[in-house]
Amino acid sequence: MTQKILVTGGTGFIGSHTTVELIKDGYEVVIVDDLSNSKIEVLDGIQEITGVKPQFYQFNICDERKLMDCLKAEQIDAIIHFAASKAVGESVSNPLLYYRNNLVSLMNLLDAMRQFGVGHMVFSSSCTVYGQPDQLPVTEDTPFQKAESPYGHTKQIGEDILRHVATAYPELNSIALRYFNPVGAHESALIGELPIGVPNNLIPYITQTAAGLRDELSIFGDDYDTPDGTAVRDYIHVVDLAKAHAVALDRLLKGANKEGYEFFNLGTGKGYSVLDVIKTFERVNKVKVNYKIVERRDGDIEKIYANTDLANNELGWKAELGLEDMLKSVWKWQKHMNGKSY
């Protein structure tokens, strides 16, 4: 029988790409999203790519009653939980919003899973849980530093909740995936990252500047202890990331997980500076990006990249796409978006 997967945040950037992979793998997908940071039109993109329009519910999963009604109506086999607020800077200025939105939602979901006998969750975590680590690359054993932001803290607490829940209720298994910097877009350019308003993240800011929608990109600091002075990150293609979710889900559904709670780094293992990204973007797309150097951004760390051995060996997953693929796909997506009203 077809297995039914609830994808919270399924119209978002990573959620929509993961939905496509799940449908390709033969799952039925039910999406819950409050559309606070995504558009309903994303469902059309998913349908164009896969031929299937997922069932869609619009609500915020902090609304426990609506969540319970949804789980009662659908016979769900597993949950992939993306829905969360993710702007680091906004979390510093509005911490209660972040703690509530990211943690009440998780607890509601876990309660609902217990009530309706759903035993598996894949959870969106982040490399932000490590803070600025003392040693690079970071392995899953690298100790967490004090969180730099309320956003990062919600991911640390979220993981602790899953660990404790798995200990208390052995029937409830979860895998947290610690993403490094997800970028890129589906090769069809029918779905991609759709920031609402002025982008916070580097890649959409680059593509919007190259497209003439923004005058200039600000590079936040060139005095870091890195080869060219700009900050270093491990960028990972969203399609590789989406495939990792399908692998983690399969592991849970098959009962192949070794612990009730597991966690994996998802990156390419390579660190690139902000200037590396801009130069590569310009070269592969033959387009210019205006930029200037400004002060460091509050809360930014200097450099981070992943050791991905555990995901490679234990999940049998490996990132296949490189920085050039990522940056070509985002430019194709940006050009597709130009002229659209959303």
Instruction: Name the site residues for ligand UD1 (rule: CB under 6 A).
Output: 86-88, 126-128, 152, 181, 200-202, 205, 217-220, 231, 233, 274, 297, 300-301, 304
Phi-psi region of 255 (alpha: psi -120 to 50; beta: other; left: phi over 0): left
Q: How far apart are CA 201 and CA 90, in angstroms?
A: 12
Minimal distance, residue 172 CB to ligand UD1, in Å: 25
For ligand UD1, give the closer residue by CB, 70 or 202: 202
For ligand UD1, give the closer residue by CB, 43 or 136: 136
For ligand UD1, give the closer residue by CB, 71 or 88: 88
Minimal distance, residue 269 CB to ligand UD1, in Å: 16
User: Closest-CB residue for ligand UD1?
Assistant: 231
Three-class secondary structure of residue 316 per DSSP: coil
Q: How far apart are CA 275 and CA 54, in angstroms?
A: 39
For ligand UD1, give the closer residue by CB, 123 or 205: 205
The continuous run of DSSP H or E covering 318 comes out as none
Specify whether 151 is catalytic.
Answer: yes
Is the N-terminal amide bond of 137 cis, ω within 30° of 0? yes
The continuous run of DSSP H or E covering 232 comes out as strand 232-233
Q: State the residue for tokens 């979710």.
A: 245
Question: What are the distances in angstroms from CA 306 to CA 133, 169, 232, 270, 309?
Answer: 11, 31, 11, 7, 9
CA gyration radius for the chain?
Answer: 19
Catalytic residue (choose from 27, 130, 151, 305): 151
Tokens at 143, concatenated: 């100790």
The continuous run of DSSP H or E covering 177 comes out as strand 173-179
For ligand UD1, give the closer residue by CB, 42 or 127: 127
Minimal distance, residue 201 CB to ligand UD1, in Å: 3
For ligand UD1, give the closer residue by CB, 286 or 292: 292
Minimal distance, residue 117 CB to ligand UD1, in Å: 31
Q: How far apart are CA 219 and CA 229, in angstroms?
A: 11
Minimal distance, residue 336 CB to ligand UD1, in Å: 21
Q: How far apart are CA 145 and CA 132, in angstroms?
A: 7
Instruction: Characterize 179-202 residue by residue with b for buried, 16 or more Cβ atoms within 10 angstroms of its Cβ, and e for exposed.
Output: bbbbbbbbeebbbbbbbeeebebb
Minimal distance, residue 66 CB to ligand UD1, in Å: 26
Active site residues: 151
